[in-house]
Amino acid sequence: MNPETTVTSDQSSRNVILLLSCPDRAGLVYRISNFVYQCGGNILDLDEHVDPVEKIFFVRILWSPESDSTPLSELEEAFRPLATEFDAEWKIRFTGLKTRIAIFVSRYDHCLLEILWRNSIGEFAVDIPLIISNHNDLAPLAAHYGIPFHVFPLNSANKETIECQEVALLEDNAIDTIVLARYMQILSPRFVKSYQSRIINIHHSFLPAFVGSSPYRQAYERGVKIIGATSHYVTEELDQGPIIAQDIIRVSHKDSLDDLVRKGRDLERLVLAKALRFHAEHRILVNGKKTVVFD
Amino acid sequence: MNPETTVTSDQSSRNVILLLSCPDRAGLVYRISNFVYQCGGNILDLDEHVDPVEKIFFVRILWSPESDSTPLSELEEAFRPLATEFDAEWKIRFTGLKTRIAIFVSRYDHCLLEILWRNSIGEFAVDIPLIISNHNDLAPLAAHYGIPFHVFPLNSANKETIECQEVALLEDNAIDTIVLARYMQILSPRFVKSYQSRIINIHHSFLPAFVGSSPYRQAYERGVKIIGATSHYVTEELDQGPIIAQDIIRVSHKDSLDDLVRKGRDLERLVLAKALRFHAEHRILVNGKKTVVFD
Amino acid sequence: MNPETTVTSDQSSRNVILLLSCPDRAGLVYRISNFVYQCGGNILDLDEHVDPVEKIFFVRILWSPESDSTPLSELEEAFRPLATEFDAEWKIRFTGLKTRIAIFVSRYDHCLLEILWRNSIGEFAVDIPLIISNHNDLAPLAAHYGIPFHVFPLNSANKETIECQEVALLEDNAIDTIVLARYMQILSPRFVKSYQSRIINIHHSFLPAFVGSSPYRQAYERGVKIIGATSHYVTEELDQGPIIAQDIIRVSHKDSLDDLVRKGRDLERLVLAKALRFHAEHRILVNGKKTVVFD
Amino acid sequence: MNPETTVTSDQSSRNVILLLSCPDRAGLVYRISNFVYQCGGNILDLDEHVDPVEKIFFVRILWSPESDSTPLSELEEAFRPLATEFDAEWKIRFTGLKTRIAIFVSRYDHCLLEILWRNSIGEFAVDIPLIISNHNDLAPLAAHYGIPFHVFPLNSANKETIECQEVALLEDNAIDTIVLARYMQILSPRFVKSYQSRIINIHHSFLPAFVGSSPYRQAYERGVKIIGATSHYVTEELDQGPIIAQDIIRVSHKDSLDDLVRKGRDLERLVLAKALRFHAEHRILVNGKKTVVFD
């Protein structure tokens, strides 16, 4: 079983997504669209980008297949020779299959509520089998949405042990992607490495401004006229991962530090939700320290 | 000679643009990218969209050709059978060839200055052989940028005659596209028809709000908290043409009508410039009363 | 008892707000600030505006009083002679007293959730004694936040009777302000009149564009590049009341009607929340068909 | 003669502006508005702010005086005792008097053109007696607007000498404020000190992100999704001065470094123009490392 996806009941409008990057060369669109055509697919959406400096080709194709009954493994098998020839990184997904995510939280509820609510009205293509926290505070919110809530009382002494337990839980639940919804702990490099380009964080500043802790306080003291929030993939370097989405809001001398926190909350939840939607819809390709987002 | 374009000296980095729309069907991307591949081209950028309601296919492809010496007519000839088979509206252009535009103005200088200045620093792929006005006021500005300035003192009695003279001048100069840079006259239906989807207007409101005259006064009296500007192709119905670009700015109770005019000026020139850039780079396809803008 | 307010436990940081409008004349700021000074107050924030066309003076003053124990009625009594002399509309409020609001909803949950959640974390200075709906759907959400939920199954035949029952319920609960959180019914003129400048609605378009029903469909069909949401006070004319807050988001040819609805939801809840916050903090004065918002 | 201002012909609508900051205490608004009232003035606009952390009071008052013939020195004399009592920093200005500014430029024309054009249509309350540059390139633009253009061929060896000549020229022309319109040289600490809070710079990034040189390249390499521009007062520490205005624009993976430069140009000129307007209208008070902007 592919750890990223789970079968949903709605197979009726199942489309196919290919997400691929490889060294650029002539004929790539032709060869890949030919593959789709030979499979009997009709392309509904195609986004293509060539990095003019690095000479890398990026593409996302969405097509409606001739038949809904072809299994994913068969499609992958058919495409593999082309991918090998192009030296590509790639994946194929069905739109009817949902990405399985785990949400990590601490005490703030706004980002968690945002994701759970959006998912409840069908905005995201995700399943949320579990929430992990280092505090009990948000258990009632998880319960309201019927999601199992696991508390791991982390401290400096037990970090390694706890992370092992968390990884075991993630693997048992076939979790593909982790969302840090204002999780106030730093993951170990080993943990990060196991989920490369699959951990999404929200940082409450306009990166690269105000890296690290207390960005609202830093912004308040610097006297900026605009504050921001940034969602990015987590890498081993703190707040340095590839940026997925950013947004901003105006502030003025009238805004206290509390006002910045209040205004920032709205940014944080919207930006994190946007990044998660892009990720769950397979719209993001990582390009070194940057992202290509086909929105 | 194609009336839209003029040869520039820089042929070194000449790329090819195809802009096409046709009824949707399977295999379109494959067939068109195959054409590019057979010509020896390498696709640098491809944007594709299918209107899911109308089932219309839209595409813009930018490619670097194998050879810089193939004439446009030969490329067009080679592509024609495919276009005919697809029942397509289409054009092929070279990036090294500039769209020839005429600017119509009355008394306000901000939109004219914006276009002339941007063109002077190479932001646009346009040539501006002439400016037409119903007043003398902006002649010095045109002179500073070295553009011929023609005054046609329009009134209700001579409108038909004047328009004939204007059209003759436009044809003599092989003008492809007309930009109404706050031109305070309404063009006749016949005139509009001759330049379908080739007359770009700037309306100083967030359309469809505040159609017609004095939109800032209307906005002031309604007490809106945001004002806008809209650039659109001109059709026979006033302010109803397909929208190309829009932008907005916040206003408050502190802003007088003069402040709205001042803030709106910045919107008008930026929005009009954006629309002209999209048009000159062949990024716009008209879809009935709407546009597809591949930005 | 003043129907607008209820005593909260936190009296420690109780400040005083004066909101006033009157015909402009020399000496108003001096006379009013003198009143504050004579009371022993220290002004923390003062916003003043004069409508240069209508010659009306608007002011909001926030001050910390010398003593926390002076009752509101005593302050009002002391200020009344000045207000009468100025022919002013005015109110004085304590920051420690919360506006009592009722929320009207139909089936969409996003605006209701937004208000209940923000109130739960202390963003608003409101008490919410009850929610009224013409459907059962949102009862569980109300229950989660512990707010009484009243269903009135409205139809064209029983409208007058139902409204009488609703008004009785509102009066029993000393409700000051009504929030229409995507309530899909039109209130009768008589109802509207009883709560003048105290009913806040959210309309899902950038007013005055797309008045009436299905604004997202109207926007989709017009092909706009930006959509909006507008919060306003309800008057007898549909969607014509004084605008409190507006916001916008960009859309493109890629966005389906469903995408507009999804993007619009985020606008609606943020704009309505903003308008409610301004109202609850006594930051809004109505100026004919417009508002003065001291934000 | 006051070096900041010069008499204009339009005395008809001359209003008075007081800009003041001092340690906060009770009665300040009352005492100051009483002063205005005693002078026979009618307050048209009053903005007040108290820094709740530093306990500093800031105010800007605009009033129409009883008589247009009272000289500035007399008003200043009358107000001085109050200012002394409050230990205030303050200035009084007439709206009919224009701030005298010098513009420093290098080779980019966009910021210079923006200021000269806006001034030509009366947007700014400034006089521009001279432009200083370390290159000849922009002399024709200065000539078109009829402004004397002085070239000082600066290099590492002659910096001190050149700055002395520049200061002499500034003093001869009674220059109050210096605008660095993409001036690519760093002013000496001594120079900066002489024009404290009177040198306005535009930095082409969203400060504090991307301090120093090549901010667009830094932004491109970091892969941000939004770029910005920041206007600030120059202090001895590079790019650390109090921020006056900021704005941003969205970018994506499609944008090359050249696109960032192009998009950024629009930000730079609008943000610098906004900052200069605030400054010229006496709307800015410096609060340590921050600004209070009464917009």
Amino acid at A56: I
In the predicted model, is pLDDT for residue B137 greater than 50?
yes
Kindly report the backbone phi and psi dihedral angles of residue C91, in degrees, each rounded to the nearest multiple of 5, phi listed first: -150, 150
C73 in the same domain as C195: no
In chain D, which residues have their Cβ closer than 8 Å to the Cβ of C30? 30, 33-34, 36-37
Give the C-alpha separation, C197 to A194, whole Å. 57
Same domain? For A156 and A174 the reply is: yes
Task: Give residue D143's identity as a one-letter amino acid code.
Answer: A
Report the CATH number that the domain containing residue A82 is assigned in CATH. Answer: 3.30.70.260
Adjacency order of strands within the sheet including D56-64: C89-94, C16-23, C56-64, C42-51, D42-51, D56-64, D16-23, D89-94
Residue type, C115: I
> Å from D266 to nearest chain A CA?
18
CA A277 to chain centre: 7
Residue B211: count of CB within 10 angstroms of its CB: 15
Q: What is the pLDDT of residue A125?
A: 87
CB D50 within 8 A of CB D129: no
What was the pLDDT predicted at A96?
A: 84
Partner-chain contact A291 D223, CB within 8 Å: yes
Name the residues of C annotated as catalytic.
239
Residue D205: phi and psi, rounded to 5, are -155, 170
Answer yes or no: do A147 and A222 share one domain: yes
Q: Which positions in chain B have a beta carbon within 8 angstroms of at least one beta carbon in chain D?
A: 45, 109-110, 113, 117, 121, 123, 144, 254, 262, 266, 270
Cα atoms in the Cβ-side hemisphere of radius 13 Å centred on B237: 6
pLDDT at B168: 97
Interacting residues of B9 by C-beta distance below 8 A, sequence separation 6+ = none
Low-confidence stretches of chain D (pLDDT beneath 70): 1-13
**Residue D13, pLDDT score:** 64
User: Averaged in consecutive runs of 10 residues, what is the pLDDT profile of chain C (295 residues)?
Assistant: 38 82 96 95 94 95 90 95 98 94 98 98 95 97 97 92 96 98 95 97 96 94 97 94 98 96 97 98 96 96
Question: Nearest CA of chain D to the CA of C143: how many Å?
Answer: 39
Kindly identify which residue of chain C lies nearest to residue D42, measuring between CA atoms. C26
Per-residue pLDDT tens digits for A46-91: 999 999 899 999 999 999 998 878 899 999 999 999 999 999 999 9
The pLDDT value recorded for residue C1 is 33
The sign of the torsion formed by the CA atoms of D131, D135, D138, D140 equals positive
Min Cα separation D14/chain B (Å): 18
CB contact under 8 Å between C30 and D25, yes or no, is no
Mutate to test the interface with D, among C24, C31, C38, C42 (most CBs of D within 10 A): C42
List the catalytic residues of A.
239
Q: Is D206 within 8 Å of A226 when comparing Cβ atoms? A: yes
Segment A230-271, tens digit of pLDDT: 999 999 998 899 999 999 999 999 999 999 999 999 999 999
Q: Which residues make Cβ contacts (< 8 Å) with residue A35, sequence separation at least 6?
A: A78, A79, A82
Q: Which residues of chain A have pLDDT under 50?
A: 1-12
Predicted pLDDT of residue A2: 38
DSSP D283: -
Dihedral sign for Cα C167, C169, C172, C175, please.
negative
Number of structural domains found in chain B: 2
Tell me, what CATH number does D246's domain have? Answer: 3.40.50.170
Residues near B20 by beta carbon (within 8 Å), at least 6 away in sequence: B32, B57, B58, B59, B60, B83, B86, B88, B89, B90, B91
Q: How far is B139 from B141, CA to CA, in rounded Å?
A: 5
Residue where one domain finishes, among candidates B53, B75, B94: B94
- Pair (A172, A208) in one structural domain: yes
The two tokens of residue C82 are: 């000045």
Domain stop point among C38, C68, C94: C94
User: What average pLDDT does chain B have?
Assistant: 93
- In chain C, the residue whose alpha carbon lies closest to the alpha carbon of B248 is C248
3-state DSSP percent of chain C in helix, strand and coil, to 5? 30, 30, 40
* Nearest residue in D to C52, CA atom: D44
State the catalytic residue, choosing from D109, D127, D176, D239: D239
Q: Do D263 and D165 lie in a common domain?
A: yes
Are the beta carbons of C244 and C232 closer than 8 angstroms?
A: yes
The tokens for B82 are: 């495919």
How close D246 gets to chain A, by Cα (Å)? 6
Q: Testing the interface with A: which of B48, B56, B64 to mutate, by most A Cβ within 10 A?
A: B48
Closest-CA residue of A relative to B50 is A44
Output DSSP code: residue A288: T
Same structural domain, D57 and D120: no
Dump the DSSP string for chain B: --TTEEE-S--TT--EEEEEEEE--TTHHHHHHHHHHHTT-EEEEEEEEEETTTTEEEEEEEEE-S-S---HHHHHHHHHHHHHHHT-EEEEEETTEEEEEEEEE-S--HHHHHHHHHHHTT-SSEEEEEEEESSSTTHHHHHHTT--EEE----TTTHHHHHHHHHHHHHHTT--EEEESS--SPPPHHHHHHTTT-EEEEESS-TTTT-SS-HHHHHHHHT-SEEEEEEEE--SSTT-SPEEEEEEEE--TT--HHHHHHHHHHHHHHHHHHHHHHHHTT-EEEETTEEEE--
**Among A25, A60, A94, which residue terminates a domain?**
A94
| Residue A224, φ and ψ in degrees, nearest 5 | -70, 155
D207 and D90, same domain (yes or no)? no
Band of residue B226 on the pLDDT scale cut at 50, 70, 90: very high
Q: For D37, name the nearest residue in chain C, comparing CA atoms only.
A: C27
Cβ-based contacts of C26 with chain D (< 8 Å): 37, 40-43
C118 neighbourhood in chain A, CB within 8 Å? none
Which whole number is the average pLDDT over B241-260?
97
Please check whether residues B105 and B227 belong to one and the same domain: yes
H helix runs in chain C, sequence order? 28-38, 72-86, 110-120, 139-144, 159-172, 189-194, 215-222, 257-280
- Residue D156's pLDDT is what? 85
Q: Are residues B90 and B117 in the same domain?
A: no
Angle at D102 between CA D168 and CA D143, to 5 degrees: 110
Residues B81 and B112 in one domain: no
Residues B34 and B155 in one domain: no
Domain residue limits at C36:
5-94
- Return the residue in B54, B56, B207, B226 with the most chain C beta carbons within 10 A, the one to mutate for interface testing: B226
Residues C90 and C135 in one domain: no
Mean pLDDT, residues B107-116: 98
